[in-house]
Amino acid sequence: MPLYVYPIILAGIAVWFYPFIGAHHATPPAATVNRSSRWGVLLQFIAFTLLWQGRFWIRPLLAWRVLVCVALFALAALLSWTSSRALAGQHA
């Protein structure tokens, strides 16, 4: 994988994750915990395990794929910034 991809990945993750830090500090802990939500964590673990089975870093990286990834990172960041503000005050 070309070296210019790593800063794109790191910047995308940082911009996506940053709003959750402020939202987490602004809310008190939950009064009740929904134990069924742990299934979501398990599903994410399975998805990441399957992702790493593909050896995507060996395949050639085309310019259009980089542009699509940057656009999807931007969309994910937009959703995280809007959702963390909208959901910050909602707790049981």
Among 36-40, 72-76, 85-89, top mean pLDDT goes to 72-76
**54 in a structural domain:** no
List the domain range (segments joined by +) for residue 63: 1-24+59-92
Q: Structure pTM?
A: 0.61
Is residue 33's pLDDT more than 80?
A: no
Is residue 92's pLDDT more than 60?
A: no
**4 in a structural domain:** yes
> How many folded domains does the chain comprise?
1
**87 in a structural domain:** yes
Task: Give the contacts of 26 (CB within 8 A, at least 6 positions apart).
Answer: 88, 89
**69 in a structural domain:** yes
State residue 67's pLDDT score: 94
Span 45-72, mean pLDDT? 86
Is residue 90's pLDDT more than 60?
A: no
CA distance 86 to 9: 26
**70 in a structural domain:** yes
Query: In a 10 Å sphere around its CB, with 0-12 CB exposed, 13-18 middle and 19+ buried, how is residue 68 labelled?
Result: exposed
**64 in a structural domain:** yes
Task: Give the contacts of 31 (CB within 8 A, at least 6 positions apart).
Answer: 91, 92
**49 in a structural domain:** no
**53 in a structural domain:** no
| pLDDT confidence band for 75 (50 / 70 / 90) | very high
